[in-house]
Amino acid sequence: MKYFRKLFIILFTIISVTVMTDCEIDWTLFNMTITYDGVTVYGRSSNQPDKGLSEDCESLKNIKLKRICDSLYPAFLAENFGDILAGVNEPFAVFQFPDEVTNRYFLTFQHSELFNCQYLQVIDALNYRCSKESGEPEDILMKSGIMYCMCYESSAIDLLLRICSKQLNESSVFTALHYSQLLKIPRSAGRKEELRMEWCLHVG
């Protein structure tokens, strides 16, 4: 019975973490810390230390982001761009960098405590400082999440920005994408123009 239990745990682990080919992966299973192709996936355990940001996301540090709007992820965007981590009609919120760099954004998907923030500071991939309407800052520690930063323009991101607010009509030159939940969503059979995220790992 003891050995059967060990075998079950091993099989469950293999099924839960599915790795696609041609990706460099560095992961610590018991802390659920996974990094690949600039994407950082984090899950918090009781003894897990704070996690820093990937190199592509470093520009988020010490920046006070302002919440601009929120909306729902549209079906036509999911069909044409194939973001495998955002579901149709899931909420997303857009935060903007300070005035001098207005075409840089932080988008968070799937409802979380971050949606209640008027201003947001990213400490690391799991830790945030949130200022609400009252102005009193509070620290938020996320249980899990995925963060990916794009230092290039994306037509999918531009569409999301316009859907959220007509005022967001400039192409984004930097976008941080944050997903608060680890979802297991199958890849689309037809590989259409994806969000250039090049996801290599599904965690469920």
Model confidence over 155-177: pLDDT tens digits?
889 999 999 998 888 889 999 99
* 132-147 pLDDT, tens digit each: 877 788 999 988 888 8
Per the structure, the count of domains in the chain is 1
SS3 of the chain: helix, strand, coil, percent, to 5: 25, 30, 45
**Residue 43 within any structural domain of the chain:** no
Number of other CB atoms surrounding residue 152 within 10 Å: 11
Q: Answer yes or no: is 30 within a domain.
A: no
Residue 123 lies in a domain: yes
Q: Say if 3 falls within a structural domain.
A: no
What is residue 183's predicted lDDT score, i.e. its pLDDT? 53
pLDDT the model gives residue 5: 46
The answer as to whether 163 is a domain residue is: yes
Establish if 113 belongs to a structural domain: yes
* Distance separating alpha carbons of residues 57 and 128, to the nearest angstrom: 14
This prediction has a pTM of: 0.67
- Percent of the chain with pLDDT strictly greater than 70: 60
Task: Share the mean pLDDT of the chain.
Answer: 70
On the question of pLDDT at 74 being above 70, the answer is: yes
Structural domain contains residue 194: yes
Q: How far is CA 162 from the centre of its chain?
A: 19
Any idea what DSSP says for residue 100?
G
Closest of 140, 141, 138, 175 to residue 160, by C-alpha: 175
- pLDDT, average across residues 195-203: 32
Q: Write out the residue range of the structural domain in which residue 183 sits.
A: 55-203
Is 15 within the bounds of a domain? no
